Structure 1
């Protein structure tokens, strides 16, 4: 089965509640919020509000920046969300990339290696805290001393962990430890601190999946693969709709349409693409943005059955 997650953020209470209900009715597997302090609504407050008007849809951050989020507070937020939602919380973590987020909390963004080390340490600490363990860590990247999450305790026995990344080391770590590997397909952060180069060509995707497979070697059940979709367009002219994004990313239109990071075409073409990505790459999960709710919701059951 293929699943779809909707990523969105509230602008007001009424429309947010409506969106959560609509996403659940349409059959989306989860509703997630980006976690960029100061730039969007804080995810866990928003998701708790969504929990109050829904009953089945999963809820989580996609993804929390391990560089600026402290494990004790993140674990408490996730556990509280799991409690108030009746066991529907998801844990999403990434290394972070936006320099302003570090500066806003009085830190300078570390280099890639430092961000990766902290991300792994935070993920391990948060998971241990959610599992009820006492955690002590004392490294240059992270410090916790006899930390324990006594209350609230999560409803779920194990909250699913998604690691969102395109970094080789984190892909291997996710292959070994995560429930879901969130394939971002993103490369170097560009000077604005938000945009990225992309790693969407066939060879790039194969290299990323090879890292996941190396990490997952020996696991009885490897992690699920999830693609962060950057563009969804239901259209009779896929090539025209893809042209600008292809130019912006340096890919040919054919290369762009072959990636799991865009879904462009007629309903039949998008269903065929999802089936092809499952067969070619093993991708069975997708995260799409708010503007995809109505276009994909119209034929989501067909997409979920794509094989």
Structure 2
């Protein structure tokens, strides 16, 4: 069955807590907080606040820039969120891409390979700390000495791990180790440090999925596949809306509608598209922005029926 998560960040207390309650009532699987230090709220503070007004919805980061986070502090934050939420924490991680986030902490952004190595190293240490192990690492990417998370201990036996990426090496690693692989559809970071080229062509999606499959070889249960949806529009004229947006990503309207990165159409057409994305790509999980909450609420009811 398909599931949907809602990604946002707080602008004020009332709005954020209301969003958490509404997302839970609508049937969203998780509320996810973005992580861009200096331009949005701290995800763990925001999610802990959301935990106080909800009871069932998952609460997670989407996704953390591991280039600027230290594993001991991160593992403590994740475990604390799991405790105060009664076992609802999710951990979403990525390699990061915005140069300003490195400069703000006195570092320079590494090249792609360096960011991927750092992401893997930090994720492995956080996973080990959450599992109750003592960890020592001394590598060019990370130094940790006799780190151990004695308290707080997470409520869940395993906090679910999502790795969000389009990088081939990280997709293979995620295929082998993650619970969920988040397909961002991003290509090269553009000069502004925030926007990206799109990798939405069918052959590009297939290449990304092949990396996940390669990494997951031998796993009894491969990771779930999740798409970060950039556009949600409920409309009676999907072709017209798609045609307006397709050229910007180098696709035709029908090609755009076939990707899991947009959901455009009537409620019934979006339900059918979700099913087709599961059949064609294996994508059964979707992350949408906060402005999709109201348009998707009736869609979620149809999917649950």
User: TM-score range with shorter-chain normalisation?
Assistant: over 0.9
Structure 2: distance between partners of 1:298 and 1:212: 32
How far apart are residue 187 of structure 1 and its match?
0.5
1:12 aligned to 2:15?
A: no
Structure 1: distance between partners of 2:169 and 2:303: 32
1:104 aligned to 2:113?
A: no
How far apart are residue 240 of structure 1 and its match?
2.1
Contact 2:35–2:64 (CA under 8 A) maintained in structure 1 = yes
Taking structure 1 as reference, are residues 279 and 89 closer, same or farther at Cα in structure 2, changes over 3 Å only? Answer: same
Contact 1:274–1:303 (CA under 8 A) maintained in structure 2 = no
Question: Which residue number corresponds to residue 132 of structure 1?
Answer: 132
Contact 1:27–1:300 (CA under 8 A) maintained in structure 2 = yes
Question: Which residue number corresponds to residue 199 of structure 1?
Answer: 199
How far apart are residue 148 of structure 1 and its match?
0.7
The 3-state SS of whatever aligns with 1:272 is: helix
Structure 2: distance between partners of 1:225 and 1:2: 10
How far apart are residue 304 of structure 1 and its match?
4.8
Aligned length: 305
1:274 aligned to 2:274?
A: yes
How far apart are residue 250 of structure 1 and its match?
1.4
Question: Which residue number corresponds to residue 156 of structure 1?
Answer: 156
Give structure 2 stretches of 5+ with no counterpart.
none
TM-score, normalised by the number of residues in structure 2: 0.99
Give the 5 Å matches for 1:251-262: 251-262=251-262
Structure 2: distance between partners of 1:52 and 1:243: 43
Output one character per residue of 1:207-247: Cα deviation in whole Å (capped at 9) or x when no partner.
Answer: 00000000000000000000000010000111222233212
Contact 2:48–2:84 (CA under 8 A) maintained in structure 1 = yes
Structure 1: distance between partners of 2:301 and 2:214: 33
Question: Which residue number corresponds to residue 91 of structure 2?
Answer: 91
1:213 aligned to 2:213?
A: yes
The list of structure 1 runs, each at least 4 consecutive aligned residues, that deviate by more than 4 angstroms after superposition, is none
Structure 1: distance between partners of 2:139 and 2:121: 9
Question: Which residue number corresponds to residue 178 of structure 1?
Answer: 178
Structure 1: distance between partners of 2:296 and 2:195: 25
1:147 aligned to 2:183?
A: no
The 3-state SS of whatever aligns with 1:298 is: helix
TM-score, normalised by the number of residues in structure 1: 0.98
RMSD of aligned residue pairs (Cα, Å): 0.8
